[in-house]
Chains A and B, each alone.
Chain A
Amino acid sequence: MRAVIAPRRQQRQDSGAGSVRLAERVSRIRESGILAVLIVFVAVTTLVKHRFLDTSNIQFVLVDTTVFALLALGETMVVISRNVDLSVGSVVGLSAYLSTDLFAQHPGIPIPVVFLAGLGIGLACGLANGIMVAAGRVPSLVVTLATLYIIRGIDILIVGGSEVDASSLPNAFLDIPKDTIGGIPDIAIAVAVVIAIGAYYLRTYRSGRDLYAIGSNPEAARLAGLPVGRRVFTAFAVSGAIAGVAGVLWGAQYGTINSTAGTGYELQVVSAVVVGGVAIFGGSGSVTGAALGALLLSTISSALYVLGISPFWDQAIWGFLLLLAIALDQTITARLTAALRKNARSRQ
């Protein structure tokens, strides 16, 4: 069976290469699209109020974006495979408390250990999600909605009325969101690097590209021999682990951690990812776009404050942009599908 398929696969790969290049070019256009919106926003705001580009403002925007950009990275991987992870907010909350509580219970614990603990907590949640979705073959929307409730419930059970205060946290930890190199916050650079790695992985590695195939057509992917279950499982595990790390960063940023940490983040992350050009039914989009989406969200809030426009317009503007992005993506996808079909037909 394999011998028969192999040469066919080679031929398909040749004709596929052109399609892949086309898809990638579109993806890059979409990314530049959101970058363009971002630049326009920043430019207009700066023209009106020069201090929008002050280092302090930039720092606010970048630091505020870090948690969401990280969550967007994990969420993108999941959404590309035609799934969704609604439990990220609850994972952030659980990880934020349990990891920072380590500082309170074991003073002097090294900071990297705490980050590892957060990653572990998130990973455990992600594994649970992954097993249920991949092995159980049940819709991820339902599973992650359930784990959203369950994880938050566990968080509240554990935390109760207590909280971790800034005085229990070492200064070095609280300084993490504040340290800068040349005016740019360290963690922003770190997160940008992580996003770049994620983008490279998704574009280059087989396991990354498989996610796109699975998202485009799960049945076809299965029939083509892709290890669908394993890929989806990994995507959820990674999403959970990243959310765990984001939780630790949350603790460093806010300093006071109780059972409400991370509440409501899931819809913000999904919407950032959609604005960033990731199709909600999977198969297309990029991590870079999603991170830019998260950045745009923080930029708009900041711009409104600086311009003195009531921040109450924030949500409405964001909602409008979301709808615009969805409509735009649909048009692009329709045109791209038509172009790919023409491409495939002309090669046969």
Chain B
Amino acid sequence: MSTSTGSLTELKRPLAERLGAALRWETGLAVVVILIFGIGSAASPDFLTGNNLFNLGLSNGEIAIMTLPMTLIVISGEIDLSVASILGMSSALLGYLWARGWPMPAIFVVIAVVGIAAGAVNGLLVTRLRLPSLAVTIGTLALYRGVATILLGPNTVSNFPTAYTNLGVNAVPFTGNDITYSTLIFIVLAIIFGVVLHATPLGRSIYAMGASQEAAQFAGIRVKRIKTILFMISGFICSLAGVLWTFRLSTAVQNNGLGLELSVVAIVLLAGVSIFGGKGSLIGVVLAVLAFAGIQNALLLTNFNQEATGIVTGGLLLASVFLPTVLGPAVGRWLRRLSHT
């Protein structure tokens, strides 16, 4: 996805400088999140209740989880639009195998393998055949959704045992009734992905290959292998999200998760991650998840035109690209002028 030819100096940009640049949008985003939560709690006394935050986690947990591997993929210069279809395919598999009497642990293994394989297909098509990931993942979006449709047809499977559906709807024990399993998984994964992205050589390589694939290759980074692994991780995580989704609704149906990929991409872009690759941070993604979920929830709670959800999300998305390119340099110039006086 990166269009610049780049040079070796791109790689040498100190982490602090890159983090400094990234933090500018993230600070703005943090302000936005605080605003949203502020307005939300002012408009409705129910906003900051534990119950509501629990519901927030329930409705957005799976989407939030899917944004994490997507972030790494986009920073590396690619994109994965098949995420919702992998979720749907794993949900369909879960229903299909369960209806045929497979034991749940075996089903989990199959789903994990299929998810990784689905990601591997994406990765190999992008790295070995050198096909553009935007087009490839539109293709696999249709293909995997198609597999889900073939598996289940118009049928729904809903007789999952409560021991498992509880994973989808209950709070994690010992955490005070407010944190869903999906939220907990998101927090844990966010920390892991954050550490990998910002504090390991692997993370630095991901930024490098996003900034310039050729330069990264010349620097000895195994671009193809890493990208393929990123797609495989995405496939695995999306399958996990599919399992959580199915248990939350206690229903496996072919159209589970239909259309979610746009929300996932929107959140990642909202976080300030550049669509061209090489820029972005995981803190931004966490903040963007909070913003996205917060908006929807606040509007639902106040019934103030819940249709306006899309408008607010779209507006924020526009701000996320315009403000840094327009406001950022302007502010920078103004600050520099101040420091000279």
CB distance from A28 to the nearest CB of B (A): 22
Instruction: Tell me if B222 is interfacial: C-beta within 8 Å of chain A.
Output: no
B275 and A152 form a contact (CB under 8 A): no
Partner of A146, one of B259, B307, B308, B315: B315
Answer yes or no: B143 CB below 8 A from chain A CBs: yes
Contact code string A278-293 (vs B, CB < 8 Å = 1, else 0)? 0111000000000000
Contact A142 B269 (CB under 8 A): yes
Complex partner residue of B326 from A136, A160, A320, CB under 8 angstroms: A136
Task: Identify A310's interface contact among B134, B153, B259, B317, CB under 8 A.
Answer: B153
Count A-B pairs with CB separation below 8 Å: 141
Nearest Cβ distance between residue A154 and chain B, in whole angstroms? 7
* B140 CB–A CB distance under 8 Å: yes
Contact with A along B133-166 (1 / 0, CB 8 A): 0111011111111110110011000000000000
The answer to whether B143 and A156 have CB atoms under 8 Å apart is: no
Report how far A279 CA is from B305 CA in the complex, Å. Answer: 40
Asked whether A319 and B132 contact (CB < 8 A) given A136-B325, A157-B305, the answer is no
How long is the Cα–Cα vector from A313 to B148 in the complex, in angstroms? 10
What residue of chain A has the Cβ atom nearest to residue B326's Cβ? A136
- Cα-based distance from A138 to B145 in the complex (angstroms): 31
Report whether A150 and B310 are in contact in the complex, using a CB–CB cutoff of 8 Å. yes
Stretch of B6-14, B27-35, B40-48, B123-131 contacting A (4+ beta carbons < 8 Å): B123-131
Q: Mark B264-283, 1 if CB is under 8 A from A, else 0.
A: 01100100000110000000
- For A320, the chain B residues whose CB sits under 8 A away are 139, 143
Q: When the two chains form their complex, are residues A326 and B131 in contact, meaning their CB atoms are under 8 A apart?
A: yes
A322 to B131 Cα, complex, angstroms: 12
Query: Any chain A CB within 8 A of the CB of B212?
Result: no
Q: How far, in Å, is A21 (CB) from chain B's closest CB?
A: 26
Identify the interface centre among A267, A279, A318, A323: most chain B CB within 10 Å of its CB. Answer: A323
Determine whether A1 belongs to the interface, using a CB cutoff of 8 Å to chain B: no
In the complex with contacts A153-B307, A264-B259, A319-B141 CB distance below 8 A: yes
> A150: nearest residue on chain B (CB-CB)?
B314
Q: Is A139 within 8 A of B275, CB to CB?
A: yes
User: Distance in Å from the Cβ of B327 to the closest Cβ of chain A?
Assistant: 12
B: interface residue count bin = 35 or more
Across the interface, which residues of B come within 8 angstroms of A150, CB to CB?
Answer: 310-311, 314-315, 318
- Is the pair A280, B146 in contact by a Cβ cutoff of 8 Å? no
Asked if residues A326 and B146 are in contact (CB atoms below 8 Å), the reply is no
- Contact assessment for B142 and A318 in the assembled complex, using a CB-CB cutoff below 8 Å: yes
A147 to B317 alpha-carbon distance, docked (Å): 9
- Name the residue of chain A whose CB is nearest to the CB of B305: A157
Looking across the interface, which residue of chain A has its beta carbon closest to that of B308? A153
Chain A residues closer than 8 Å to B322, beta-carbon distance = 132, 136, 138
Known: A153-B311, A312-B149, A327-B129. A145 touches B317 (CB 8 A): yes
- Once A148-B262, A323-B136 are accepted as A-B contacts, the answer to whether A330 and B305 lie under 8 Å apart by CB is no
Identify the closest chain A residue to B258 (Cβ): A264
| Docked CA distance A313–B147 (Å) | 8
| A142 adjacent to B134 (CB under 8 Å) | no
Flag A205-220 by CB within 8 Å of B: 1 or 0 each: 0000000000000100
CB pair A319–B318 under 8 Å, yes or no, is no
Report whether over half of chain B's contact residues are helix, strand or loop; otherwise say mixed. Answer: helix
Interface size class of A (residues with CB under 8 A): 35 or more
- B residues near A322, Cβ cutoff 8 Å: 135, 138-139, 142-143
* Contact pick for B310, options A136, A149, A319, CB 8 Å: A149
When the two chains form their complex, are residues A132 and B153 in contact, meaning their CB atoms are under 8 A apart? no
Known contacts A132-B318, A136-B326, A142-B317: A326-B147 contact under CB 8 Å: no
Question: In the bound complex, how far is the Cα of B138 from the Cα of A319, in angstroms?
Answer: 8
Q: Is the CB of A280 within 8 A of B269?
A: no
Q: Which of B200-231 contact A (CB under 8 A)?
A: none
Residues of B within 8 A of A139 (CB): 275-276, 321
Q: How far is the CB of B153 from chain A (nearest CB, A)?
A: 5
User: Chain B residues with Cβ under 8 A from A137's Cβ?
Assistant: 325
The answer on a CB contact under 8 Å between A319 and B143 is yes
State A148–B266 Cα separation when bound (angstroms).
11
Tell me how far the C-beta of B77 lies from the nearest C-beta in chain A, rounded to whole angstroms. Answer: 13
Chain B residue, CB-CB nearest to A280: B135
A143:B142 contact, CB within 8 angstroms: no
A-B CB contact pairs (8 Å), 28 listed: A86-B262, A138-B322, A141-B275, A142-B275, A146-B315, A146-B318, A149-B313, A149-B317, A153-B311, A153-B314, A157-B307, A271-B138, A271-B139, A274-B135, A281-B132, A313-B146, A316-B146, A317-B146, A320-B143, A322-B138, A322-B143, A323-B143, A326-B131, A326-B132, A327-B125, A327-B129, A330-B129, A330-B131
B residues lining the A interface (CB < 8 Å): 3, 81, 125, 129-132, 134-136, 138-147, 149-150, 153-154, 254, 259, 262, 265-266, 269, 275-276, 305, 307-315, 317-318, 320-322, 325-326
Q: Residues of A at under 8 Å CB distance from B?
A: 84, 86, 132, 136-139, 141-143, 145-150, 152-154, 156-157, 160, 218, 264, 267, 270-271, 274, 279-281, 310, 312-320, 322-323, 326-327, 330
**Sample of 16 further A-B pairs with CB below 8 A, known A138-B322, A274-B135, A316-B143:** A138-B325, A142-B275, A142-B317, A142-B318, A146-B266, A149-B317, A150-B318, A152-B310, A153-B307, A264-B259, A312-B149, A312-B154, A313-B149, A316-B146, A320-B139, A326-B139
